[in-house]
Amino acid sequence: MAAVTRIPGFGGGLILPAHDAYDRRRAVWNGIVDRRPAAILRCASDEDVVAAVRFARETDLEIAVKCGGHSVLGLSVPNGGVMIDLTPLSAVRVDPQRRKAWVAGGSLLRNLDVGAEPHGLATTAGNVSHTGVGGLTLGGGMGWLARQFGLSCDNVEAYTVVTADGHIVRATESENADLFWGLRGGGGNFGIVTEFEFRLHPIGGRSLVVELEFEAADARDAMHGWRDLLPDAPRAATLTASAVTARDRPVVTLGYVWVGEVDKGLEYLSTIRELGQPAAERVREMSYVELQSMSDDPNGHGRRRYSKGHYLTELSDGAIDAFLARGVSTDPTGTDWARVPNGGFQAYGGAIADVGDDDGAFSYRRTLVEFGCGTAWVDPAEDGARVSAARAYGAAMEPFANGVYVNALGDEGQDGVRRAYSSRKLAKLVDLKRRYDPDNAFHLNQNILPATGNRT
């Protein structure tokens, strides 16, 4: 690329490879990602985003869009292309009377949560506060409030979008309704969202995090009991299970996260205590914003990461056994548990399933639980073994799964995209892509293919 000194209409920050901040700005959450954009365009207004898109298209440079930078594949960093960095666009405006928040397209979840909390309001956002509102909401958006208020995308009333031909459009239920449908789960395929208009909800009370910890070898019966609680759990409770390594041993925690009236949340403790006699019990009470950042540190930036996910509509005994085994298929004696991937289940249901299946691109409203497994390490020499172990865990769970969350996809490629949407919705997404981005300018995402379609 010829040296860029000025981009017509662009008033944001231009960072080229020689710039002091270049390495800091191209780094994303997953430390394994090490790609070198030709230019990083830090956009501070909708007009900057328009100018950036037009510039990239006129110079034929690949476009990547960065919000929180949490895509595990590092899809927001192109090799040699233009990184459209939305992070300067992080303003959140709240109208407490109308219970609405206008959230700029480069905001992190913490900007949204912290902006709404002083008014006693919130909307569904994910569980780690340094994740981007942009990528999370466009794929669906699961969080501790989803069983009460639906996914993040179910709470968006309007999107402001810069299209592939560099125009600014609005998408609502009545304005560009086809685009509105696609943005509810279709990811970053259709344009760059510069503002989300969210519906907020009063969240009286506080939050509870309840965990009963069992030795892994004793956890099977308790986990069967946990499974039986899933269909009728109160909406304020999101049931959780994890199979992890703690103090060099495999342990299983079963419990729930509660948001709302804490007294009722504490009453539910008696139900969960019937699961069995745990080795330890932890009950923590905190504010909603504290809950939202509780997992920030263990999920911090810079370590090397690999993960797999699945959606399950039922949880059979076989699925529970595979979950507990964590991809270790041979005799576990002598296993170095510190290197075995951790696994987790998070309950769906409640308000997620109330939304009509045809209302948006998101495809798995009947999910009972989402499974995720992941591994984090520092030494590049461990890359091969770490990735293989997480793949083995994911593969052991796959026979029990019926689909996958698009935001949990990593390197699955088109097989993954086909698993993330029903075939009917995928066909509709391809039509939409042909209308809004026929040249596939926005392809660094879990990509909808306008030319060929996504079916084999």
Ligand X SMILES: Cc1cc2nc3c(=O)[nH]c(=O)nc-3n(C[C@H](O)[C@H](O)[C@H](O)COP(=O)(O)OP(=O)(O)OC[C@H]3O[C@@H](n4cnc5c(N)ncnc54)[C@H](O)[C@@H]3O)c2cc1C
**Which stretches of the chain bind ligand X, using CB under 6 A?**
29, 65-71, 75-76, 86, 105, 126-128, 131-132, 134-136, 138-143, 188, 192-193, 299, 407, 444-445
Closer to ligand X by Cβ: residue 16 or 73: 73
Sign of CA dihedral 248, 252, 257, 262: negative
Query: Residue 139: helix, strand or coil by DSSP?
Result: helix
- HSE on the CB side for 243, CA within 13 Å? 26
Closer to ligand X by Cβ: residue 29 or 337: 29
Closer to ligand X by Cβ: residue 107 or 253: 107
Query: What are the tokens at 341?
Result: 């991937």
Closer to ligand X by Cβ: residue 105 or 350: 105
Closer to ligand X by Cβ: residue 170 or 224: 170
E strands, 105-236, are 121-122, 156-162, 168-171, 192-199, 201-202, 206-215
Closer to ligand X by Cβ: residue 86 or 223: 86
Closer to ligand X by Cβ: residue 193 or 219: 193
- Shortest Å distance, C-beta 295 to ligand X: 8
Q: Are 250 and 263 in contact (CB under 8 A)?
A: no
Q: How far apart are CA 194 and CA 106, in angstroms?
A: 7
- Shortest Å distance, C-beta 141 to ligand X: 5
List Cα–Cα distances, 215 to 278, 324, 375, in angstroms.
8, 11, 20
List Cα–Cα distances, 369 to 238, 278, 406, 408, in angstroms.
10, 22, 15, 13
| Cβ-based neighbour number of residue 441 at 10 Å | 18
Closer to ligand X by Cβ: residue 66 or 419: 66
Q: How far apart are CA 18 and CA 312, in angstroms?
A: 48
Crossing angle of the two packed helices 317-325 and 220-229, in degrees rounded to 10 = 130
Q: How far apart are CA 266 and CA 421, in angstroms?
A: 38
- Shortest Å distance, C-beta 29 to ligand X: 5
- Shortest Å distance, C-beta 79 to ligand X: 15
Closest listed residue to residue 271, CA positions, set 258, 290, 287: 258
- Shortest Å distance, C-beta 143 to ligand X: 5
Tracing tokens 């939050």 back to the chain, one arrives at 207
- Shortest Å distance, C-beta 133 to ligand X: 7
Q: Are 265 and 258 in contact (CB under 8 A)?
A: yes
Closer to ligand X by Cβ: residue 325 or 441: 441
- Shortest Å distance, C-beta 451 to ligand X: 19
Amino acid at 342: N
- Shortest Å distance, C-beta 107 to ligand X: 9
- Shortest Å distance, C-beta 17 to ligand X: 20
Closer to ligand X by Cβ: residue 393 or 442: 442
Closest listed residue to residue 264, CA positions, set 286, 239, 235, 290: 235
- Shortest Å distance, C-beta 148 to ligand X: 15
Query: Residue 325: helix, strand or coil by DSSP?
Result: helix
Which residues is 365 bridged to in the sheet? none
Query: How many distinct helices (H) and strands (E) make up the chain?
Result: 15, 18
Tracing tokens 């172990």 back to the chain, one arrives at 389
Q: Are 171 and 179 in contact (CB under 8 A)?
A: yes
Closer to ligand X by Cβ: residue 81 or 278: 81
- Shortest Å distance, C-beta 364 to ligand X: 12
Closer to ligand X by Cβ: residue 179 or 275: 179
- Shortest Å distance, C-beta 329 to ligand X: 27
How many residues make up the chain in this entry? 456
Closest listed residue to residue 202, CA positions, set 293, 307, 300, 94: 94
